Structure 1
């Protein structure tokens, strides 16, 4: 493993540790100011402020825990990926989706990252939205 891979994997480990404790400040500290967030089956958003707003919405509508985490990094450390399971509870109805009443779900998911200057510059998260809808319906 290269030093660049080690550095990238350490950054992703910090990012996901912060996610686990809902430490938004620590998550945002892992990102570039102009981070691009590609939301699963949604529009891309740019910037830390947009990402912080996304996190706030997520924390109100869902309670999620990630398990079975596996991290990968390119040799030069500029690209990375994560594979995991999302164990969650649907807390607040999201517009256009089934009504929330505490349903639980278990989804395989993945995320892809680009890194720049030792920070995350792009996050693209993917999961099967139809599977999620079926589980909470």
Structure 2
């Protein structure tokens, strides 16, 4: 599968809440660069992150646009996160079912037909303002 199809499948699984399927698109040595956080290495850490996110947030991505280089080893996606804050995340405002809409983007490295790096960016200050209103 080409890199655009790979990223499309990855986000389709995300939007359907199929986090186990998302793992199938990842390289075993995936590096997950968390927005304003550290780097999680390996599928197990990615699965732990997904479980935490599923507990705290319900999100659907819309307006997804995927870009890829000709070599197929790098890709990017721009999208809008439409979310509900379900459970208080440590160090963040209290969750009360607040809705938020947030532009975001992710950069990917592709290796051997799998996603080897996921780096996501969004404006945490904007998110905090929305859930604190």
Q: What's the TM-score once normalised by structure 2's chain length?
A: 0.98
What is the match of residue 112 of structure 2? 117
What is the match of residue 43 of structure 2? 48
Matched, 1:31 2:30: no
Gaps of 5+ in 2: none
* Pairing 1:1-137 to 2, within 5 Å after superposition: 7-137=2-132
Distance 1:103 1:25 in 2: 26
What is the match of residue 3 of structure 1? none
Gaps of 5+ in 1: 1-5
How far 1:25 moved relative to its partner?
1.8
Segments of 4+ moved more than 2 angstroms: none
Q: CA RMSD in A?
A: 0.8
Residue correspondences, number: 132
Q: What's the TM-score once normalised by structure 1's chain length?
A: 0.95
